Amino acid sequence: MANLKIARRTVFTAGPLALLLAGIERRVTAAPEDAPRRFVTLFTPNGLNYTDAGPSGGESDFSFGDYYDAFEPHRADLIAFSQQHIGGVPYGTSTETGHRSGGMGCLTCTCDEGTGYATGPSIDQFIARRLFEQGDAPVLRAPVFSIGASGVSSYAHSHYESAGEGVPLVNDPVAAYGSLFSDLDADAAALLIARKKSVLDVSYGECKGYIGALPSEGRTLVDYHCERIRELEQNLQVFNCVPPADALAQVSGLDHDDPNNYPVLTDFFWQMMETALLCDATRVASLSFGNTAFRFSMPWLDAPLIPEVNTGEQNVRDHHSHTHAGTRETVGLFMRWYAQKIAEFITRLGAVQPDGSRLLDTTTVLLVSEYGSPGGAHSNSGCASFVFGSAGGQFATGRHFALGDDAANTHALMVSLIQAMGVVDVDQFGHPGGGSGRLDAMFA
């Protein structure tokens, strides 16, 4: 018999194998844009204080500054911003300029307009709601976790569901865990995965059974797809979305208000957020180190004791007090610790998964603080911020932009993030005085 040449499509449309291979074909050839888009905001209290301690230089030849040099290993995966002005502030009315206007505006790009609260949603809540309404997120969930602080700050809150409606910070690891994984029973999840694996076992066996009846070209093609089934089976074991119950057990008995426990709690929240994003328990999540003007204590740093601060505190050694009465070096103790812990989170997101992907490739992380430099004036200009992740290749990373202390550029940055997350029909965010349009320079 003459050697019969079978077309690829002919093989796929022959017999019961067609339905099986169709699903595998879609899985193997899925375009990157089909992947879920995830968004994270990170907030550190107070601010840069010293201009030369933050990012500077050209677009590609830039320095992180000594406060942020922990980000150097992630240079290729980030965009650094300097000379940034908090959005909204120049265009509206703030009860107090400095901590309060910066804390409210850094994620909302609005002012309080005399109300004591931000007058619009923060970008994390805005994105979460719009993705859900568009049908691009399975749940409407955008938790804000915290180290040290809880609830809604009566002074100046940063995360808002809508105008005047602050999102409570959750610093209790047990409550945080429950908010993400209460509807996912570990035993039930394991049983479901076992069933899926069993189905793939049968499919793999049936797939191999067809090979002997096919000519050589068809055998090679079908064998390739049989092996893809085996890979899916193996990945089910690796991507087993089991909540980090063991990690929770290690911190559940800790006093989450005790500063001595902040480092281990931070590590727990990083692991929990990574798992939640990977398992699609949420598409949006945030972590706040305290809240606006937070007196964040780090006993492990052994920062110098300050006898008296012009805010009234005495014999203190927290971050906020050092921004008032400390030095460039003592402020740096705190700033470098935040940067180091954040770098560890980015390392987690950048780990290569069994399928060759990285969570960071589909997760965009925005890091902000409440003021810039000079620190003594608590200026809402001269701020530093960072975007980690390329949003699935949409952003050209490894770059730095000086935004010229023009708040309109901050509004454009926010619009860029919103559009990169797949939110449609949005060209403006925050106070309308900030204008419209995206920051085109960010995009590849």
| Average pLDDT for 294-309 | 96
Q: Which of 388, 323, 379 has its CA nearest to residue 360?
A: 388
pLDDT above 90 (res 50): yes
| Average pLDDT for 71-93 | 98
Split at pLDDT 50, 70, 90, the class of 354 is: confident
User: Residue 13: what pLDDT?
Assistant: 36
pLDDT above 80 (res 251): yes
**Number of H helices and number of E strands within the chain?**
12, 13
- Which of 6-10, 12-16, 31-35, 154-158: highest mean pLDDT? 154-158
User: Residue 376: what pLDDT?
Assistant: 76
**Torsion angle defined by CA atoms of residues 251, 44, 288 and 253, in that order, rounded to the nearest 10 degrees:** 20
What pTM, to 2 d.p., does this model score?
A: 0.83
- Give the integer Cα–Cα distance in Å for 180 and 247: 14
- Give the integer Cα–Cα distance in Å for 370 and 156: 10
- Give the integer Cα–Cα distance in Å for 54 and 372: 10
User: Residue 225: what pLDDT?
Assistant: 56
Amino acid at 291: N
User: Residue 134: what pLDDT?
Assistant: 97
pLDDT above 80 (res 11): no
Query: Which structure tokens are listed for 292?
Result: 């606006």
Split at pLDDT 50, 70, 90, the class of 276 is: very high
User: Residue 204: what pLDDT?
Assistant: 58
pLDDT above 90 (res 438): yes
DSSP assignment string, 9-50: HHHHTSTTHHHHHHHHHHHHH--GGGS--EEEEEEEEEE--S
pLDDT above 50 (res 285): yes
Question: Cα dist. 309→91, 131, 295, 321, 422 in Å?
Answer: 32, 45, 12, 6, 46
| Average pLDDT for 351-363 | 93
| Average pLDDT for 178-191 | 68
